[in-house]
Amino acid sequence: MRCDVFSIFPDYLSPLNLSLMGKAQAEGLVDLSVHDLRDFTTDRHRSVDDTPYGGGAGMVMAAEPWARALESVIPAGSEVQRPTLIVPSPAGEVFTQARAEELATEDHLVFACGRYEGIDERVLEWAAGHFVVRPMSLGDYVLNGGEVAVLAMVEAIVRLIPGVVGNPLSLVEESHQDGLLEYPVYTKPSRWREADVPEVLLSGNHAKIARFRRDEQLRRTAARRPDLIARLDPAQLDRNDLEILHIEGFAVQNGAVRSVASDPGEN
């Protein structure tokens, strides 16, 4: 996979040369280039921003440096196999594991890191003629620019490329999560500062261990991510699951898992 990243702070992306990402690059699984957007300016001051039409606070990234930058990575003479252009934005589609899995199968990803109040919208419209354009949000909070979002997205995508993560079984286990949060994990020593590892994990009883872990997944998902509980398919839940969920304040109603009154939650 080829990845091109454009930013006015290319040094911000240097973690991509470390650890897992660095190894993936050294092994030729990923070919990553980080480009300085200012190299595509034409004025003496290398400016990339200007005041917003319609008024308002802050500055907007001007179209021309972006177009020149993006043109530099358009594959020669191919309307077919358009690269995917990911534009981090608080107004984008939310980046999820499903999006990471989809993007991990692409040949060529291009990332456009904005700053200030964002990029002139006409860049995205123009780019749609050469790229599959995907404005993407890392989540519902505001960053100062796209760089941190790109670090997270590239890490989530690249680790799914075959050969990048050492043990492919950990990827298989991950993808088989049934829409629940992970169970808690423990390592030696079995007693640490008065705190014991749950006894069942030392028992060697694999059926009981699996049940314990499933219960913990259900409990923490109910407590921390009730939105995920509401999306469970009741047909995939056994009697034990339903009992745990009931203790946590959920029950099956009209073919869906619903929160049962007693806990009013935040609303």
Contact with ligand JEW (CB under 6 A) among 13, 32, 133, 138: 138
Contact with ligand JEW (CB under 6 A) among 86, 103, 114, 218: 114
Binding track, positions 68-107, relative to ligand JEW; x by CB under 6 A: --------------------xxx-----------------
What is the torsion angle, in degrees rounded to the nearest 10, for the CA atoms of residue 190, residue 195, residue 196 and residue 197? -70
Q: How far is the CB of 6 from ligand JEW (least distance, A)?
A: 12
Q: How far is the CB of 120 from ligand JEW (least distance, A)?
A: 11
| H/E run at residue 84 | strand 84-94
What does the alpha-carbon distance between residue 91 and residue 42 come to, in Å, rounded to a whole number?
Answer: 30
Binding track, positions 174-213, relative to ligand JEW; x by CB under 6 A: ----------------------------------------
Our finding on whether 10 is near ligand JEW (CB under 6 A) is no
Strand partners, 2: 31, 108
What does the alpha-carbon distance between residue 49 and residue 251 come to, in Å, rounded to a whole number?
Answer: 53
| Helix, strand or coil, per DSSP, at residue 5 | strand
Secondary structure in 3-state letters for 21-63: HHHHHHCCCCEEEEEEHHHHCCCCCCCCEECCCCCCCCCEECH
- Which residue, judged by CB position, is nearest to ligand JEW in the bound state? 118
What does the alpha-carbon distance between residue 128 and residue 225 come to, in Å, rounded to a whole number?
Answer: 36
CB-CB contact of 118 with 60 (8 Å): yes
Secondary structure in 3-state letters for 251-264: EEECCEEEECCCCC
Our finding on whether 5 is near ligand JEW (CB under 6 A) is no
Our finding on whether 145 is near ligand JEW (CB under 6 A) is yes
Entry field: residues in the chain: 267
* For ligand JEW, the closer CB: 56 or 179: 56
What does the alpha-carbon distance between residue 243 and residue 265 come to, in Å, rounded to a whole number?
Answer: 20
Q: How many residues bind ligand JEW (CB under 6 A)?
A: 17
Contact with ligand JEW (CB under 6 A) among 85, 100, 118, 153: 118
Our finding on whether 50 is near ligand JEW (CB under 6 A) is no
* For ligand JEW, the closer CB: 83 or 88: 88
Binding track, positions 148-167, relative to ligand JEW; x by CB under 6 A: -x------------------
Binding segment (CB under 6 A) for ligand JEW, from list 72-80, 111-119, 163-171, 180-188: 111-119
Our finding on whether 65 is near ligand JEW (CB under 6 A) is no
Our finding on whether 146 is near ligand JEW (CB under 6 A) is yes
| Helix, strand or coil, per DSSP, at residue 177 | coil
For ligand JEW, the binding residues (CB under 6 A) are: 88-90, 114-115, 117-118, 137-139, 141-146, 149
